[in-house]
Amino acid sequence: MKHCLIGAAALWLLAGCAGPVHRTAHGFRTDGPAARFEVVCYAPEIVQVVKSPLFGEVDTAPTASVSMEPGKVRFDLETGEDGIIRLTTGALRVELDPAKAVYSFYRPDGTLLLREQPEAASHEEIYQGFLLEPGEAIYGLGQHRGGGLDQRGKNYHLENVNMEIAIPLFHSVKGYAVYWDNYSPTEFRSDGDGVSFSSEAGKNCSYFFLGGGSGDAVVRNIRALTGRAPMNPLWQFGFLQSRERYGSAEELVSVVKKYRELRVPLDGIIQDWQYWGDNAHWNAVEFLNPAYPDPKGMMDEIHSLHAHALISVWPSFGPESDIYKELQAENLLLGQSTFPQGNGVRVYDPWNPRARDIFWNHMEKSLWSVGIDGWWLDATEPEHQPVRPEDYDYRSPEGTYREMRNSFPLYSVGGVYDHQRALTGDRRVSILTRSAAAGLQRYGAHVWSGDLESTWTSLREQVQSALNLSLCGIPYWNSDIGGFFAGSWPGGNRNPGFRQLYGRWMQFAAFTGMMRSHGTNTPREIFQFGGPGDPDFDLQEKYIRLRYRLLPYTYSAAAAVTREDASLMRALFLDYPQDRRTWDEDTEFLYGKSILVAPVSTEDDTRSVYLPEGEWIGFWDGARLNGGVSFTRTFARDELPLYVKAGAILPVGPEVQYAAEKPWDDLQIRIYPGADGSFALYEDEGDGYGYEKGAFSTIRFDWNDADGILTIGPRQGAFPGMVAGRTFRVVVVRPGAGAGLDNASCDREVRYTGEIVTVDMN
């Protein structure tokens, strides 16, 4: 559908009137001279606006990103004396001005949230503009390099490529979001007070307005609309080691053994490409390389070392591979050229359910069957160099490639997730993917930021990338520690400059969804940087150990993602929306609700830190600081600036070699004084989907700061293998107690058996 909707609005403007207003089961519909205008209520805070041509069948069906169905929403509908059509739910008012063909969105109290931009000229593409308030900050739009956190004034071509993720959703600091429900290549423009989407193709102009009133509520509504995030396995929140590439089964296993010998924690090893052999068999989805003679034996040995393995699988296949031949026989390959060029490699059609079946069948037969634990789904954009004009005309069961372009990762990743879930519920699906679309979070996938250069600029841009993707509803994100391409550093891991960059990136990665070392040009394993006593080795070990010590906190935060639609990496404005200094803070974030992380991304080890209003406590020294101020200082090479909110309660776990080595039967509970606070400790089996049937437990901690009383509530729920009795070692954090990696400090020792306990910390 081209030449569509603003042109239709202009015709309506000339006519100056609308046809009859028809109340529907979920909203209303009215016709102008050239277009049909419809509002569909999905929830009191979520409505769809559809503008479609009068000719042909009306189709308000959303894209596959939308998993929600229109709800039974109570609403009032009236046409005022001014001719304006008003639909009002308990949380939102939508107005259509027929004289201008413009929709406006209000809070129930009459506060204007957003208004469409009036247009007087037609557009060749499917187009919609919106008017923002002066100074209104907006976020989201996927993942884009160098754009900052606030996307106001930025222009993007929204088409998935390596390092750029296209999600046509903007999230306002005012507490609403707009999701442009279109998968075709789209231009997002922001100029003055206007923003707009302009797409190459689609059956109509369709977008969703999502209210909420706060950033967290908007994320919750995005997840309600596009799907909620399941729990990832506990081991996936440990440390994972990778390289481009391990060249044999022996090398892969030897790395795990070396970590165990060094007693440095590790939970995962990742096998990159070419385990399949030559390019004619590119991504054959089986071990054809003779350097992997016994894949099952390899996996058995990795599992005996209490580690897990992910493996690289691409959506493209060499012409001599069995999977290529099977897909080709059923005409299930796209025509476009793809990497590696000149080898006849082609991409499969993920929009065809039969192609998704074939893809999984080969993964199950050759990889899952030998014990592979997770999937590194590389190049899910998909990789292309370049897409020719005629490639966009390829027709899948869901539409042309032009119409479906940006949904490739949703269908491809979703196919793998759905097939594994159908096979078994005993092991949680573990997926790492290079691209994304709205709704990807429902597959539990971790998105990574692609093949970055190993530069300080790349590191600096990672926070804004993570936060904008998170504000699109996708909570799990990570990056290659040290950046992928390290060729600009002579000597690689022996170069002091690269070692400094790698160490700072390692510190940041300890507070992302997945802590994963990967890259090319130089090996990245910890033992490549010396041994115990060497500063670069010790720095890495320190932050890997910190990652594991904080696992009870991280896993509980992940449970909040699943159970409450929370965000793991949090833009500061989510918690401090009235503080305008947080609106474009793109170098700091909150990890969970309590820990402020300010990565150092400068060669001189200096940075400015802003602490929002309130009282903060230094993680490393226990010192109290007042918020609402910035300070600049030089941080030691092994010091990541970390600050904890007053009132926070952090559970700290034991020293372990892998995530599930020890039960959480002896936890240090750190109380950060200065304000009241609470925390819910979440536990389950660590794998499998029993938690979906109620197999989990929570223990709530409440701190009364004025009285110095900690209340540990009764345990709620149960699961197989649950620790029945345990020790909580409670410490009020202060200089010299409960700081850094200290696990010895204890002010009160509490024996807990599941019943309520009151602890006087005075």
Q: Out of 2.60.40.1760, 3.40.50.720, 2.30.30.90, 3.20.20.70, which CATH number does the structure's domain 5-226 have? A: 2.60.40.1760
381, 461, 536, 685: the catalytic one is: 381
Q: Tell me the C-alpha distance between 751 and 383, whole Å.
A: 55
Q: Which helix (H) or strand (E) holds 252?
A: helix 249-262
Retrieve residue 613's tokens: 């209003």
Mode of pairing for the β-strands spanning 726-732 and 666-671:
parallel
Is 150 a catalytic site residue? Answer: no
- Could you list the mean pLDDT of each consecutive 10-residue stretch along the chain, which spans 762 residues? 42 52 96 87 98 76 97 97 96 93 94 89 77 98 95 97 98 98 98 96 95 98 98 98 98 98 98 96 98 98 98 98 98 93 95 98 98 98 87 95 97 98 98 98 98 98 98 98 98 98 98 98 98 98 98 98 98 98 98 98 98 98 97 98 98 98 98 98 98 98 98 98 97 97 95 98 97
674: left (phi > 0), else alpha (psi -120 to 50), else beta?
left
Find out whether 612 and 582 touch, Cβ atoms under 8 Å.
yes
Quick one: which of 392, 451, 476, 413 has its CA closest to 183?
Answer: 392
119, 451, 585, 586: the catalytic one is: 451
**CATH 2.60.40.1760-classified regions of the chain:** 5-226
Find out whether 562 and 231 touch, Cβ atoms under 8 Å.
yes
Find out whether 670 and 700 touch, Cβ atoms under 8 Å.
no
Place of tokens 């207003």: 21
SS3 130: strand
Contacts for 666 with CB less than 8 Å, ≥ 6 apart: 654, 726, 727, 729
**CATH 2.60.40.1180-classified regions of the chain:** 569-644, 649-760
95, 125, 272, 378: the catalytic one is: 378
Q: Tell me the C-alpha distance between 51 and 59, whole Å.
A: 10
Return the CATH architecture of domain 569-644: Sandwich (2.60)
- Reply yes or no: is the peptide bond before residue 581 cis, omega within 30 of 0: no
Quick one: which of 153, 150, 149, 181 has its CA closest to 168?
Answer: 181
pLDDT at position 11 is: 37
Q: Tell me the C-alpha distance between 344 and 351, whole Å.
A: 21
Phi first, then psi, for residue 571 (nearest 5°) are: -60, 140
The angle formed by the CA atoms of residues 11, 16 and 20, to the nearest 5 degrees, is 95
Q: Tell me the C-alpha distance between 555 and 684, whole Å.
A: 10
Place of tokens 């990795």: 302
Write the CATH number of the domain with boundaries 649-760: 2.60.40.1180
Helix, strand, coil percent content, the chain, rounded in steps of 5: 25, 30, 45
Is 378 a catalytic site residue? Answer: yes
Residue 563, CB-side half-sphere exposure with 13 Å CA sphere:
17
Has this prediction a pTM greater than 0.95? yes
pLDDT at position 454 is: 98
Question: Which contacts qualify for 53-57: CB closer than 8 Å, 24 or more apart?
Answer: 53/1, 53/4, 53/8, 53/204
Phi first, then psi, for residue 540 (nearest 5°) are: -65, -45
Is 381 a catalytic site residue? Answer: yes
Quick one: which of 26, 106, 103 has its CA closest to 62?
Answer: 26
pLDDT at position 52 is: 87
Q: Please tell me what DSSP assigns to residue 68.
A: P
Task: Indicate the length of the chain as a whole number.
Answer: 762
Q: Tell me the C-alpha distance between 407 and 398, whole Å.
A: 10
Q: How many CB atoms lie within 10 A of CB 59?
A: 11
